[in-house]
Structure 1
Amino acid sequence: MDFGLSGKTALVLGASRGLGAACARELALEGVTVYAAARNTAAIAGWAADLPAGQVVPVALDLSDPAQVAAVSAEMAQTGIDILIANCGGPKAGPATGQSTAAWQAAWEAMALPVMAIADALLPGMCARGFGRIITIGSSGIVSPIPGLALSNGIRGALAGWSKTLAGEVAAQGVTVNMVLPGRIGTDRVAELDAGRAAKTGQSVEEVAAASRATIPAGRYGDPAEFAAVAAFLASARASYVTGSMIRVDGGMLRNL
């Protein structure tokens, strides 16, 4: 299938590793010029080394720094971005009980506000060109809150409400707004969560991972490339009538309708 993406431009947040890197690479393989943003730009250069020169442009960005977010937003608005992959790292694990106001505020400022600000800066250009894709990487915790990940559940849930509202506002201008919800994808973040659970329970990491795999009908963790393929489709011209949706990529893990 021709995704019709050759010649388009994308900004991918959190592109140094994991799902962000996988999405950035998939778009680059489709002929998109990708501005890959992260604090660790050396890691971006590493995974992009086999791609044509200039296909992937590393952009230094710390999403927790408002000044950097504002500067990159302005630069990318001038560049003319067609596709935004809004990806941010998850906050520390922990219960809802006893979370400090400072912890909630830090998670909000690092995960939600930067995504909203960057999208707002890019939207006028997308609307003027009559083509735009805003794809936010969420979590299965939006649909079925994950015990022990209260900060992530709360902030990503807020992003889901923002995404759905925005989708209705810009659909007539040719801009689609969707979320992709990963289940247990084999990334460093999931490995870190498994290791944390192993430390708390006294199990081995493999025992924790095996128990997790047993809850997934597909019987395995997903490959980041499988997730990225769904994001690339949503970015494509073929997905022009898909907006305001949350697409699960979880091997059937969630039983919710």
Structure 2
Amino acid sequence: MDLGISGKVALVTGGSAGIGLAAAKSLAREGCDVCVAARNPERLAEAVVQLQEYGKVVHAVLADVEDPAAARRVVEETRDVLGPIDILVASSGGPPAGRFDETSLADWDVAVQRNLLGTVRLMYAVLPEMRSRGWGRIVTITSRSAREALDGLALSNATRSAVAGVVRTLAREVARDGVLVNNVMPGPIDTDRLRTLAGDEEGLARRGEAVPIGRVGSPEEVGDVVAFLASERASFVNGISMLVDGGESRVIA
């Protein structure tokens, strides 16, 4: 299936590893020129090498979206090198695990800055040009915890669901300008974060046994969903929060 986005410019934050990198690869495979932004310089350099294999223009920006000035800088640098941004994929690492009484106000400040306001700032930075050109796609990557509160993930439950609320609100406001906004909620995906939470390979396997499919997912399986939502083929999909969790969630709505 031709997704109709060859030649588009995509910015992927959190794009140096895991789901963010998988999304960047899926977009590059579809013919997008891609800018990846992330905090780790070594991983960022390796991500560029991997993305260049798709034969498209690749740029990287070292940045932390927790920094209030980072969003504008990343968007401006992407525009200067690749052109106006058509597709924004806003991905950020999950906040630390922990029960509410194990968190501090400082922990909340970091989680809100990185996992909520970082995404909001990116939206503010890309929206004017998307609306003026009459075409744009914004896809946020949050977590199953945006739909179903998970034990021991107080920070994630709060900030991820807040992003989903922003997506649902913004999607209704900008759709007639040609900008579609959607959210992807991964479940158990084989990333560094899940491996840390699982503890070891046996723990990872046990985690997969809880999923109806019988295994954890791969970052690539989420990345392809992101690319679809960013495409022309998803032209009537707007304001959704899509679970990609192998059927694990029991929530009906």
User: Aligning the two structures, in what range does the TM-score lie when normalised by the shorter sequence?
Assistant: over 0.9
Alignment of structure 1 residues 80-119 onto 2, 5 Å: 80-119=84-123
**Structure 2 contact 28–51 (Cα < 8 Å) conserved:** no
Of stretches 148-157 and 37-46 in structure 1, the one that deviates more from structure 2 is 37-46
8 Å Cα contact 1:73/1:117 also seen in 2 = no
Gaps of 5+ in 1: 196-204
2:243 corresponding residue in structure 1: 248
Tell me how far apart the structure 1 counterparts of residues 7 and 58 of structure 2 sit (CA, whole Å): 13
Residues 116-156 of structure 1 deviation map (CA, whole Å, 9 limit, x = unaligned)? 11111111111111111000001011111111111111111
The answer to whether structure 1 residue 3 and structure 2 residue 7 are counterparts is no
- State the match for 2:58 in structure 1: 56
> Which of 64, 67, 71 is the matching residue for 1:65?
67
Deviation at 1:77, TM superposition (A): 5.5
Structure 1 residue 43, shift from structure 2 partner: 2.7
CA drift at 1:211: 2.6
Which SS does the other structure have where 1:3 is aligned? coil
CA shift for structure 1 position 98:
4.5
- Do the aligned residues in 1 keep the contact of 2:35 with 2:58 (CA within 8 Å)? yes
1:56 aligned partner, one-letter code:
V
- Match of 2:132? 128
Runs of 4+ in 1 over 4 A off after TM superposition: none
Partner of 2:192: 188
Percent identity over the alignment is 46
SS of match in other structure, 2:36: strand
* 1:220 and 2:215 matched: yes
1:16 aligns to 2:16 (yes or no) = yes
2:45 aligned partner: 42
**Mean CA deviation greater in 215-224 or 61-70:** 61-70
Q: Which position in structure 1 is the counterpart of 2:183?
A: 179
- Shift of residue 21, structure 1, vs aligned partner: 0.2
Letter aligned with residue 73 of structure 1: V
1:229 aligned residue (224, 229, 236)? 224
In the alignment, structure 1 residue 210 sits paired with structure 2 residue 197: no
Aligned residue for 2:101, secondary structure, equals coil
> Structure 1 counterpart of 2:54, which letter?
L
TM-score by length of 1: 0.91
Give distance in 1, aligned partners of 2:165 and 2:96: 22
How far residue 47 of structure 1 moved from its aligned partner, in angstroms, is 2.3
SS of alignment partner, residue 152 of structure 2: coil
TM-score by length of 2: 0.93
| Deviations, residues 83-130 of structure 1 (Å, cap 9, x unaligned) | 000000111111012522221111111221111111111111111111
C-alpha distance in 1 between matches for 2:17 and 2:218 = 13
Task: State how far apart, in whole Å, the 2-side matches of 1:164 and 1:135 are.
Answer: 11
- Kindly indicate whether the alpha-carbon contact (under 8 Å) linking 2:26 and 2:227 is maintained by their aligned counterparts in 1: yes
Structure 1 residue 46 displacement after superposition: 3.6
CA distance in structure 2 between the aligned counterparts of 1:49 and 1:71, rounded to whole angstroms: 23
RMSD, aligned CA = 1.5
What amino acid is aligned across from residue 212 of structure 1 in structure 2? Answer: R
Aligned match of 1:201: none
Which amino acid in 2 is paired with 1:156? Answer: R
Name the residue aligned to 1:198. none
**Count of residues in correspondence between the two structures:** 247
Change (3 A) 1:124 1:38: same
User: SS of the residue aligned with 1:97?
Assistant: helix
Partner SS for 1:4: coil
State the AA in 1 paired with 2:106: A
